[in-house]
Amino acid sequence: MPQNDKALLLRLKGHGVEFVIIGGVCGVLHGVSLVTFDLDVCCRFSIQNWKRIEAAVKDLHPYHRLVANKLPLELTDELASRLKSLYLQTDLGKLDCLSEVSGIGNYEMALQRSVTHTTSYGEFRMLDIDALILAKEAIGRERDLAAVKQLRAIKEKMDGAAPDSPQK
């Protein structure tokens, strides 16, 4: 099954989904060298926004990848009002849409802690490096903590000379 993050991002943007890039792809955009196998985004928690996500992936045979029987994505108003996250498999890969980010909070909080990622195909919001470090520390899995080591190194380099560097 392919994973095309750029195409998924373009789909979301093209359908007006309100989202912030989080997770491993956000790390990659900041310079982390680790490969990630899904696209995680934090989305505004509203029925309208869930419906936009559904429209964005409608023709990609989306299904809820973490439930039995590959339940197809069909958002009724009732289901959409009760959802807190969507873990989808689509023809363009895995797309996880979360209404909250560990260590940060909901979409509004994530948006406040985000920066603009400008590309030749548009602008996207992604967690700033400090927020991403917080989020990954809050999750606390080994691979997230490993990514934090790179993120801290990148932050240190971006911030310039570290004050407690033994060579400074």
Choose, by CB under 8 A, the member of 25, 92, 132, 134 that binds another protein: 25
Residue closer to another protein, measured from CB, 69 or 120: 120
Considering only 47-55, 62-70, 74-82, 152-160, which stretch makes contact with another protein by CB under 8 A? 152-160
* Site membership for another protein, residue 46 (CB under 8 A): no
C-alpha–C-alpha distance, residues 89 and 72, integer Å? 10
Q: What are phi and psi of 111, to 5 degrees?
A: -65, -40
Size of the residue set binding another protein (CB under 8 A): 35
Residue closer to another protein, measured from CB, 74 or 156: 156
Contact criterion met (CB below 8 Å) for 37 and 2: no
* Site membership for another protein, residue 161 (CB under 8 A): yes
Minimum distance, C-beta of residue 79 to another protein, in the bound complex (Å):
31
* Site membership for another protein, residue 140 (CB under 8 A): no
> Scanning residues 92 to 131, which ones bind another protein (CB under 8 A)?
117-120
Considering only 47-55, 104-112, 135-143, 160-168, which stretch makes contact with another protein by CB under 8 A? 160-168
Instruction: Give contact residues for another protein (rule: CB under 8 A).
Output: 1-6, 25, 28-33, 35-37, 117-120, 146, 149-150, 152-157, 161-162, 164-167
